């Protein structure tokens, strides 16, 4: 005898048809709902593919920009006979980076930049860091956002001319990429770490004047970021701590040079400051 009275048998319940057992004929492909969802699927797949292409371009830009920064650090090396050769080589590398940014601009044509901003912002920040580092080495000043964007104006290739060389050349369309103020500020914040390393390298090369120039320059950058403070984006305020660390190490180096510079031989100054230099990030070990 079954507890709780009689129970319904399994066959008494209605059989539910499994999704895999349903026939395709049950789905009306001409339904407006099905048509709308197919359109949504196509749009989402297209957007996802574009996002992945932008991520790949951003990685390529990051790698080449880091290589340019490593190259520019050779300016302070005593084994480099001419800094002009290093700067010329860095120009060639940055031109290659700009061609990658041109591809990003082509991908973003007709799109909302901020919908894809997260995909390419790491690469753009690294490019700003590289181009601002090169600009400082050349002019001892900070490159402006306007100057950065001026270098990112491109002319699109005339496809009709490539197909028919005898055809009359048409006016080429101008394609521009605009670095956002946030990416510019984050790139400048990362620049301070490279300037701190340049300070230590200059001391090792026997250059005593450059650390004091870098100290004044970093103090100006710090003052500018201090005006933003916590009112700016979270990423900017987060990097303010790293900026202060770089400034403190450069000021400490300048203090040691001023107070104990006459006591320490020039060839030993680099060893004194080597332990105080900020270690490079693990992901910066790109050769």
Could you list the residues known to form a binding site for Mg(2+), using ranges.
Answer: 129, 194
- If we measure between CA atoms, which residue out of 192, 212, 216 comes closest to residue 253? 212
Burial 23-38 (b: 16+ CB within 10 A, else e): eeeeeeeeeeeeeeee
Cα separation, 202 vs 196, whole angstroms: 10
Strand ranges (E), 84-180: 153-155, 174-176
Distance of CA 95 to the CA centre of its chain: 16
| C-beta of residue 218 within 8 angstroms of C-beta of residue 193 | no
In Å, what is the CA distance from 75 to each residue of 106, 161, 193? Answer: 35, 43, 16
Q: Which residues are annotated as a binding site?
A: 129, 194
The DSSP code for 167 is S
């Amino acid at each position: 005898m079954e507890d709780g009275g009689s129970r319904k048998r399994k066959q008494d319940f209605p059989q539910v048809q499994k999704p895999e057992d349903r026939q395709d004929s049950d789905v009306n492909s001409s339904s407006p709902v099905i048509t709308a969802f197919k359109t949504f699927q196509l749009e989402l797949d297209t957007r996802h593919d574009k996002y992945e292409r932008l991520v790949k371009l951003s990685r390529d830009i990051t790698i080449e920009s880091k290589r340019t920064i490593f190259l520019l650090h050779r300016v302070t090396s005593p084994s480099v006979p001419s800094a002009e050769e290093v700067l010329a080589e860095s120009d060639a590398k940055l031109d290659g980076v700009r061609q990658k940014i041109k591809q990003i601009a082509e991908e973003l044509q007709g799109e909302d930049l901020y919908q894809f901003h997260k995909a390419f912002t790491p690469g753009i920040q690294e490019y700003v860091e590289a181009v601002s580092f090169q600009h400082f080495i050349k002019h001892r000043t900070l490159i402006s956002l306007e100057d950065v964007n001026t270098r990112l104006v491109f002319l699109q290739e005339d496809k009709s001319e490539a197909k028919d060389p005898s055809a009359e050349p048409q006016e080429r369309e101008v394609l521009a990429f605009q670095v956002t103020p946030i990416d510019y500020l984050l790139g400048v914040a990362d620049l301070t770490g490279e300037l701190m390393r340049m300070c230590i390298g200059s001391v090792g090369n026997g250059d005593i004047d450059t650390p004091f120039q870098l100290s004044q320059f970093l103090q100006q950058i710090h003052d500018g970021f201090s005006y933003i403070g916590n009112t700016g984006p979270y990423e900017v305020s987060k990097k303010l701590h790293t900026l202060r660390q770089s400034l403190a190490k450069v000021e400490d180096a300048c203090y040691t040079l001023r107070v104990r510079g006459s006591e320490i031989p020039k060839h030993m100054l680099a060893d004194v400051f080597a332990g105080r230099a900020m270690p490079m990030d693990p992901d910066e070990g790109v050769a």
